[in-house]
Amino acid sequence: MSFRFFRLLLAGSTCGLAQMCPAQEPSPTVASVSDALDKALLPILEQRCMDCHDDEMKKGDVSLESLRQPGLNRHNVRLWDKVREQVRSGTMPPKNKTPLEAGQKQAVLDWIKANELAIKASPASDPGHRKVRRLNREEYSNTLRDLLGISSRPGDKFPADGAGGEGFANNADTLTFSTLLMEKFMGGANDAIAEVWSKPELRGRLMAPVTSDKLPAEVGAELALRPFLLKAYRRPPTEAELKEVIKIFTAALQRGENWDNAMKVAFKAILLSPKFLLIEEEDRPGVKEPWKVNHYEVASRLSFFLWVSTPDDALLKLAAEQKLQDPAVLAAETKRMLADPKALAFTKNFAGQWLHFEQLFNAVDPDRRKFKDFNDTLRQAMYDEVFTFCDAVLRHNGRVLDLLDSDYTFVNEPLAKLYDIPGIQGKEMRQVKFTDNKRGGLTGMGAILAVTALPQRTSPVLRGKWVLEQLLSAPPPPPPPNVGELPEDDRSIKGELTFRQRLEQHRAKPVCAGCHARMDPLGFGLENFDAIGKWRNDENGKPLDASGLMPDGTAFAGPAEMRKVLMLEKDMFVRTLCSRLLGYALNRGLEVNDQPTLLRLEETLKQADYRSESLIIAVVQSFPFLHRR
């Protein structure tokens, strides 16, 4: 948006911002947009918003206090996303307050647009802080698989990793050490080496550099350990590090171990080394400007992003040749890695944790007497559907808007039976095109519908909350205390009331109305699906109402029309996807300094017709992915 267009948008508003915007200026700058905030919007915010949204009150977990002082927080697009959502939908100011005048409302929305343009045009200058972190349980198991060739998964026995930042288990802030975890790592190393030594082909692969049993003991040990250290440490070992491991090997020999057992001790020591268990990058004390990470560090960032595992020989070779900072090479490697089956781990960990469909195995337990179709075979089919669908979109250059709405999915015989799709036989998942508009995208999938339901009934609240949080990054605040509970079983509601009517009585309470006005319509639109995702036209014999009315007045009825409402919010969905993907790639929560990168990722995705490959390559080539401070 040019400043001239910005001025025209604000013509007739009460803010007077138009007079500040010369028509000749090609685009807004961060400084000019900040000036506009001071002169135009801050008075509106002070008069209408600060009473409830300063640091002391912070209603809805939103504080606008930082806007009173110049600085980066004035341009926090996530904060302004919350403001825009509330102002545009009319939920703020609340119903018991005087609404914003039309000019004031338009001024706020237009300032937010200009702010985003200014941020997108500004250079990325701070890659954010990259912390040392340990391997999480998935990375540990996958790395041992690729290092040693074992099929077991020692990490599955470890305590669950926490989720931080953008909601992922690879976040450095949550990957701490404990005594219990060190015991698990010791047990994991013992079990992994024992599995290798029990299989001659695996042991032979590990010892492949040693071509003769007539070599001096330490010479043979060095031949096997040096290449293994390169792979285990994800960089060439220093001579001091090699000598340290040889010293452990020699000590084992001196204790009376034979060469073979002494090598087992040395390999275990490597697997327990902080240099293996920790992902650590070179620091440059005293250097103030950000620097490019070295090529081996790029290799690790790439492999743990797309494979949830250690770099392979091809990546390490490119690192040795100093080629992993070339944008063309990065693009080619990204395509190669996405095509590799190891990238299934990317779908599992990124999509599964973002969309919460991994909870299908640990948090979903429908009442089997009421939902007789549900069993573990169907549970697995539900998981396979959403996994295969997300994998097709993310790894095979699909169109990411298909996650909101699509005319196809993937089913096998048990799932096709639940969905009333004829002609499907066998356990294999295959792509099918819908012949009606009942289903489409994530919100029509059994896995998502079951994860957002209760054991004995649907939950419009949980389903609406899931859409707001996972697809639109517009989570409602936590519920206030003592708001009452709804029946656990919709069959227990007395009289002629439907469950929806009972819920509407609950949400009519003033303390509940604000949040439910945003959540419930989205959940109501999915009421044609029961608690396991089967289509229904009534609720326990009572008429089913699947209509919804959004706070901005948009009305719809049923899943198909609800998906059209979601497609109108595709910009919010794109921001959600890009922010989650960038946070996952960087192993941390996003910061204000990441916003230029975030907004350019959004633009890249839109210009690529919403195809995923360009977005993933853009993340890999981005400033914070390739730099540190």
Instruction: Establish if 615 belongs to a structural domain.
Output: no
DSSP assignment letter at 60? G
Q: Number of structural domains, the chain?
A: 3
Same domain, 161 and 220: yes
Same domain, 442 and 538: yes
Instruction: Establish if 102 belongs to a structural domain.
Output: yes
- Given a contact cutoff of 8 angstroms between Cβ atoms, the answer to whether 468 and 452 are in contact is no
d(CA 485, CA 480): 12
Distance of CA 114 to the CA centre of its chain: 27
What's the pLDDT at 514?
A: 62
DSSP strand pairing (542-543 vs 538-539): antiparallel
Taking residues 604-624, report their average pLDDT: 98
Same domain, 256 and 228: yes
Q: Using omega within 30 degrees of 0 as the cis cutoff, is the peptide bond preceding 28 cis?
A: no
The pLDDT tens digits of the residues spanning 142-163 come to 999 999 999 999 999 999 998 8
Taking residues 495-522, report their average pLDDT: 71
Same domain, 111 and 65: yes
Of 243, 263, 279, the one marking the end of a domain is 279
Same domain, 385 and 492: yes
Task: Look up residue 204 and give its two tokens.
Answer: 């032979």
Task: Look up residue 560 and give its two tokens.
Answer: 């198909």
- Given a contact cutoff of 8 angstroms between Cβ atoms, the answer to whether 350 and 577 are in contact is no
Same domain, 59 and 18: yes
Of 66, 100, 121, the one marking the end of a domain is 121
Window from 82-86, 196-200, 273-277, 561-565 with minimum mean pLDDT: 82-86
Instruction: Establish if 287 belongs to a structural domain.
Output: no
Window from 368-372, 463-467, 499-503, 576-580 with minimum mean pLDDT: 499-503
Taking residues 393-416, report their average pLDDT: 98
What's the pLDDT at 1?
A: 32
Same domain, 392 and 520: yes
Decide: residue 329, CB within 10 A, 0-12 exposed, 13-18 middle, 19+ buried.
middle
Closest C-alpha among 402, 460, 461 to residue 431: 402
SS (H, E, C) 298-347: HHHHHHHHHCCCCCCHHHHHHHHCCCCCCHHHHHHHHHHHHHCHHHHHHH
Q: 């969309």: which residue's tokens?
A: 355
For the entire predicted model, the pTM comes to 0.90
Cβ–Cβ contacts within 10 Å for residue 348, how many? 17
Same domain, 85 and 193: no
Is pLDDT at 495 greater than 90 in this prediction?
no
The pLDDT tens digits of the residues spanning 418-476 come to 999 999 999 999 999 999 999 999 999 999 999 999 999 999 999 999 999 999 998 87
Same domain, 367 and 507: yes
d(CA 428, CA 208): 39
What's the pLDDT at 370?
A: 94
Instruction: Establish if 590 belongs to a structural domain.
Output: no
Task: Look up residue 603 and give its two tokens.
Answer: 């633009």
Backbone phi and psi for residue 546, each to the nearest 5 degrees, phi listed first: -110, 30
CA angle 573, 575, 578 (to 5 degrees): 110
Instruction: Establish if 620 belongs to a structural domain.
Output: no
Q: Using omega within 30 degrees of 0 as the cis cutoff, is the peptide bond preceding 624 cis?
A: no
d(CA 55, CA 223): 62
Instruction: Establish if 498 belongs to a structural domain.
Output: yes
The pLDDT tens digits of the residues spanning 63-83 come to 888 888 887 777 888 888 888
Q: 């998981």: which residue's tokens?
A: 383
Percent residues over pLDDT 70 in the chain: 91
Instruction: Establish if 251 belongs to a structural domain.
Output: yes
- Domain with 214, as residue range(s), is 133-279
Same domain, 100 and 230: no
d(CA 367, CA 453): 11
Is pLDDT at 618 greater than 60 in this prediction?
yes
Same domain, 96 and 209: no
What's the pLDDT at 439?
A: 97
Confidence of residue 61 (pLDDT cuts 50, 70, 90): confident
What's the pLDDT at 480?
A: 66
d(CA 419, CA 569): 27
Of 568, 588, 611, the one marking the end of a domain is 568
Same domain, 110 and 141: no
* More confidently predicted of 123 and 316: 316
Distance of CA 574 to the CA centre of its chain: 12
Instruction: Establish if 239 belongs to a structural domain.
Output: yes
Confidence of residue 125 (pLDDT cuts 50, 70, 90): confident
Window from 7-21, 304-318, 393-407 with minimum mean pLDDT: 7-21
